[in-house]
Amino acid sequence: MNIGWIGTGVMGLSIASHIQNNGYQLFVSNRTKEKAASLLDRGAVWCKTPAELANNADIVFTMVGFPRDVEEVYMGDSGILSSAGCKCRTVVDMSTTQPSLSEKIAVKAKQLGISALDAPVSGGDIGAREARLVIMVGGDKKTFEDVMPLFKLMGTRITLMGKPGAGQHAKMCNQILVAGAIISVCEAMLYAVKSGLNTEDVIDLLEKGAAASWTLSNLAPRIFKNDFKSGFFVEHFVKDMGIILKEAESMGICLPGLSLVNQLYIGVRSQGMGRFGTQSLYLALKRISGMD
């Protein structure tokens, strides 16, 4: 079976590598060919456009940054679902994007006789490297079952959440929780430093109590190693929160906590840290507190 992959960023490269390492012939397309170099060196085939890739692969996976990128990859003149790129049988978008866009892709794909899944993930760069992602899927059950052997190469918890777009709605729930967790961790670590506590002891202690979380265990240690590289870009988190707030407005629900975190991260981005990891909120709070 030939597999197509578009999007070799922080997470996409690791996930595509798992597929390649399990014996599948991989076809790759990106805006930047150099980012796929490690896959190409091990036998992946380069395609100049998403349409060309879709003409060579049975199943196409995408994992790109913003909704405009998703739309271009699928609906653009040289997109997967353009007239020149309709030979694949299944498309799986693993980007985090608007639920309505996932529904639009599914409708267009169905018109071309192609099955579509939306399958955003949680677990960050570590989960991607270690194939321990949580994968939230929207689409029909048969297609989900057909793709399951590939999903199992990427993650440990894979769940069909419902119709097209349902995977994206589940990811929005995930991001609301992440927003609450990251601001709590950054504020707690700032408090620990200011009060003179040993941060390693604090993290070790809190990991064993009611405050334990993935964010505490994985991002707090990075803060104190001065590691603000991205497992998940600030600019992508701002994008996700913007999608959620628009969806919430259309549903008539109020998310004041998320609105606050969103405004704080817009500030982080404005300070030139859009390509930093989400733990960089700590730096912004530290500056506000006069602790630089």
Tell me the catalytic residues.
171
| Strand stretches in 231-281, DSSP E | none
Backbone angles phi, psi at 95, to 5 degrees: -70, 160
Q: How far apart are CA 187 and CA 139, in angstroms?
A: 39
Tell me if 53 sits within 8 A of 85, measured CB to CB. yes
Q: Which residues contact 95 (CB under 8 A, 6 or more apart)?
A: 7, 62, 63, 64, 65, 69, 70, 120
Beta strand 115-118 with 59-62 is unpaired
Q: How far is CA 199 from the centre of its chain?
A: 29
Beta bridge partners of 137: 160
Q: How far apart are CA 80 and CA 241, in angstroms?
A: 27
- Measured CA to CA in angstroms, residue 117 lies from 10, 42, 92, 137, 144 at distances of 22, 28, 5, 7, 7
Q: How far apart are CA 159 and CA 175, in angstroms?
A: 17
Q: How far apart are CA 82 and CA 75, in angstroms?
A: 6
